[in-house]
A and B are shown apart, each in its own frame.
Chain A
Amino acid sequence: MKISIPVRWRILALPLLLAAASVGFSQLAHAQNKIVRIAMPSEPGTIDPHSSVGGAYEIMQAIFDGLVKLDHDLNLVPRLAESWKQVDDKTVRFKLREGVKFHSGNPFDAEAVKAWFDAMLDPADPGVSAGKLKPVSKVVVVDKYTVEIQLKEAFGPFIRSLSIPHLVIYDVAERKRLGPKGFASKPSGTGAFRFKEWRRGQAIVLEANPDYREKGKPKVDILEFSFMPEPSGRIAALEVGQIDIAYALPGHQVPRMEAMPDVTPLKKRALRPIVWFFNMRHPILLDPAVRRALVHAVDMDLIGETILEHGGKVLQGYITQGAYGGLEMPFGYKPEYSALLLAQAGWNKNSDGIYEKNGKKLTLTAQIGVDRYPDILAVGEAIQAQLRDQGWDFHIRGIEQSSLEAGVQSARKTPHDGDVPPYDMVTWGHGMRDGQAYGPLTTAWSNAFGYTGSVGHWSNQNFDQLMAIAVKPLPEQLQLQAYHDAQRVMYAEVPGLPLYSPLWVRGIQSGIEGYRLHSAEQEYWEDLELNR
């Protein structure tokens, strides 16, 4: 018997068949290639290192390399540079790896490195991370594989700062050939993976670089970065095997992932310290006794045990433990001492149990960027409760992190005698991608990077002098001494309340090997393996 199918049903069936076939082919391709699928919270604007402003470093570090890198123990090790030598206080000479090529086929050599420095520092169109290269005065090509970087003045943290993902080297010749827009759509670096396609809104796909300098690497064929804004969505996708690596998961999801048979949670404490900086122009906080009373009134250890069980670790000083130059110097919870300090400063409790001085309450409001760091709001609420219990009229105000940062950056640019910044206290986390105390300490340095003020408008001559010493290329012991002394000044002057360093949590599928979280928020993909 012949079955006749009406034409309209055939037409309707065609797209379905094509869709099914495309899904089938894609699954077949997945089975043949070693594809690792990574889910990130948001899509970056660009992956061109010249103009990328964040959110893309993990992807950029698969396509591009820097001259040096920080290993997982925070040691500075060669990357595109084979070795380096400090010629004098102001000159560093890099010997480059030979035989390295950009994905475009252009050679990577001393000329390429010089071209990159020149492009990043081009006054007409500087790279967005040019500030990190501010100490550079001149780049000289010594020979095909040797390049010399001359600094304007001695600057110790310089070589280490070259390891940050903002300063990966891109193919300047290719960028010139394609133009900035063309290069943004087809970037070229020397990394283990090269750009394949960007399906806007869906995924950025990278493929293994067959000419990668380390033979036998990379060990997977495709890296596919997709974008899932909801943490619960990323977890669900991980649980059903739709993705292999899920980024930026909340700490409280760790037990859930531990219960999943094919998923392993990865945790790493970030070096990034989060501090509540005081506004040093605030009339109440001008008094060092009040600042000290506040830090001793907060039981951060209790907060660590309860709220931060899966979400981070309480800071034991202004710099995270383990960072180069960090000093362990906790304030400690001393409520009686705190009360004594306030009494000596003239603050006494009124009939409602609130501290008052000359008829004015001890009222302070801390601004919290609620959408950046895990558990920050819960930590803020706990501190608020603790301080209120002790008689402080303390409030927290949660705002969008981007508004908070913009307000702080804008306030940093106003002169010391300018308007009072619109916050009493503000949460501020500073990345430590080069693993050294220098970066976070610049937030307290009153003349860092040309800004006229530190985050809280604290200005201390001793601290500034010690920072100026610490950035000289000193022997390690002396440099550490300067960093430690600078932190001792902070401890004495109390420009802020150290809170915690966040815990970065990711989940990976079984079969993913060679993937490790880096405490300095670096991402190295060449060792990634998929054994399934």
Chain B
Amino acid sequence: MTGYVIRRLLQIVPVLIGITLVAFLVFYFTPGDPVALMLGEIGTPEVEAQLRVSLGLDQPAYLQYLRFLGGLVQGDLGTSYLSRLPVTTTLWPALWATFQLTTSALLVAILIGVPVGVLAAVKRARFLDYFSMSFAVAGVSAPVFWTGMLFIYLFSLKLRWFPAGGSESVSSIVLPMFTLGIFCAGFLARMTRSCMLEVLGQDYIRTARAKGLSETIVLAKHAFRNAAIPIVTVVGLQFGSLMGGSILTETVFAWPGIGRVVIQAIFQRDAPTVQGGIVIIGTMFSLINLAVDLLYAKLDPSIRYS
């Protein structure tokens, strides 16, 4: 198992090199000189030249990239063109904010999506099934920015229960958490339903019932545990993609997450911040995938990693 984990961790390295290289090349070939953009109407050729030297942009592309990789090896993600501070000054707090939002949204998604999915499977082809799946489809289909706006209108403007945005108080997380959570809950509910239906049709479930076990035990211990493996995969993938993909929710609710920071940096051509953000998001995604794979073994004793 330890060997497997080490191998998987080592596999993350080429993945990160690949995505940073793509990000670097995309940035490099995108029209727009970051220095000209930074200085705008106050720029002069002399100041531009000096700034280009101080940011290292006077060097050939391959050297710029190698310098970034060299820094990465030493744990240095680079210095922001705009703030002239290490990009981690901005990225770590943003990562923490995104982590808070993502975990809480995922919790909401699990607490809503899994029971709804189980209920729909158990009450298959009945009103509760149709009702809960309609809810799931609505959750998946509604764009998060629309749900977010709706929540702001209802819970902030009309009922005045929660702040309209920001992250200054504890209650600020409630609306973005539910916006994102409901979106994921739809996926989870549909996934849980189909996994449960598949498992409930198995022989061992019939055997368990024939043994006289209560329906709760059959569902919880025999059915759900076996249905949980693909659900865990979906949760893991959702977690990974939310870490970098909650940008719309972060923007609508002014939540200071990493997606928002990276998008702002893209608009400002702040390449080091974008690359640093991509490295962090990529690493998180890879680590979460690894964690999900390891969790399989825990849930299904027949799975062995070597």
List the interface of chain A (C-beta within 8 A of B). Answer: 19-20, 22-23, 26, 39, 42-46, 48, 51, 53-54, 123-126, 128-132, 134, 166, 180-181, 184-185, 199-203, 226-230, 232-234, 236-237, 239-240, 242, 371, 400, 402-403, 405-407, 409-410, 413, 430-431, 439, 449-451
Contact = CB atoms under 8 A, between A and B. Distances in A.
A226 B163 CA distance: 14
B267 A402 contact: yes
B32 interface: yes
A131 B31 CA distance: 24
B31 A449 contact: no
B45 interface: yes
Contacts of B81: 45
17 contacts: A26-B169, A39-B254, A45-B81, A126-B46, A128-B47, A130-B46, A203-B168, A226-B168, A227-B256, A228-B165, A229-B251, A233-B165, A239-B157, A402-B32, A402-B269, A406-B36, A451-B45
Nearest to A122: B50
Question: Which of A123, A180, A237, A451 neighbours the largest number of chain B CB atoms within 10 Å of its CB?
Answer: A237
Contacts of B257: 201
A447 to B, nearest CB: 12
Given A45-B82, A46-B83, A181-B85, A229 B39 contact: no
Contacts of A39: 254
A449 B269 CA distance: 24
Contacts of B31: 403, 406-407
Contacts of B228: none
Contacts of A46: 82-85
Given A201-B90, A400-B267, A403-B30, A129 B166 contact: no
A125 B46 CA distance: 11
B57 to A, nearest CB: 13
Interface in B30-61: 30-34, 36-47, 50-51, 54
Given A45-B270, A233-B165, A237-B166, A131 B40 contact: no
B47 A53 contact: no
Interface of B: 30-34, 36-47, 50-51, 54, 80-85, 89-90, 93-94, 97, 149, 152-153, 156-157, 160, 163-171, 251-254, 256-257, 260-261, 264, 267-270
Given A201-B257, A237-B165, A239-B157, 4 more contacts: A42-B264, A45-B81, A128-B51, A236-B156
Contacts of A185: 85
Contacts of A407: 31-32
A233 B261 contact: no
Contact of B85 (A128, A130, A184, A226): A184
B50 A126 contact: yes
Nearest to B269: A402
Contact of A130 (B44, B89, B170, B269): B44
Contact of A406 (B32, B42, B261): B32
Q: Which 5 A-B pairs have the closest CB atoms?
A: A45-B82, A201-B256, A406-B32, A131-B44, A409-B36
B35 to A, nearest CB: 9
A236 B83 contact: no
Contacts of B32: 402-403, 405-407
A130 B50 CA distance: 11
Contact of B82 (A20, A53, A230): A53
A430 B152 CA distance: 36
B169 A410 contact: no
Nearest to A199: B93
Given A181-B84, A237-B166, A240-B157, A128 B256 contact: no
Contacts of A184: 83-85
